[in-house]
Amino acid sequence: MTSVYVLNGPNLNLLGTRKPEVYGTTTLADVEEMCREEAAGLGLDLRFRQSNHEGQLIDWIHEAGAEVKAGRCVGAVFNPGAYTHTSVALHDAIEGVELPVVELHISNVHAREPFRHHSYISPVARSIVVGFGVHGYVLAMRGLHHIAQK
């Protein structure tokens, strides 16, 4: 069965309690459940992961890239959290394995502090989903599935 990765970066384990006025009250476990239902509807096997560690995220990007190359994966929905705005290493990892990535942000980062306006991920992302709340995960998965079918 073809897989889809949904990768989450630092502090997303706190979803539901961290700044609910910005990120809502839905937990990461709830998001995983939403993604699992969506993946089932799309006929995809879900690999849902979260880490607070940049190196771990890089290893998962490499893993997903190898799966795509082997024809077993459509790519990754990726919420890099604050690493979006700091990580050349994540940029290089995505570029290095040519992983199809939909960059996702729960909040509208462009309506927030100026330091959130720049992304190291966007130049190597296929698409970007921003500001739809946690529903963005479902939209991003549909988009990735659509791209993979073309």
Catalytic residue numbers, as ranges: 23, 105
Site for ligand DQA, rule CB under 6 A: 11, 79, 81-82, 84, 105-107, 109, 116
DSSP 129: E
Nearer to ligand DQA, 12 or 67 (CB): 12
- Residue pair 67/3 in contact by the 8 Å Cβ criterion: yes
Nearer to ligand DQA, 6 or 106 (CB): 106
CA 128 to chain centre: 10
Instruction: Work out how close the CB of 57 gets to ligand DQA at its nearest, in angstroms, rounded to a whole number.
Output: 13
Instruction: Work out how close the CB of 91 gets to ligand DQA at its nearest, in angstroms, rounded to a whole number.
Output: 15
CA distances from 73 to 61, 86, 149 (A): 12, 27, 12
Nearer to ligand DQA, 14 or 66 (CB): 14
Instruction: Work out how close the CB of 135 gets to ligand DQA at its nearest, in angstroms, rounded to a whole number.
Output: 12
Q: Does residue 5 sit in helix, strand or coil? A: strand
Count of residues for the chain? Answer: 150
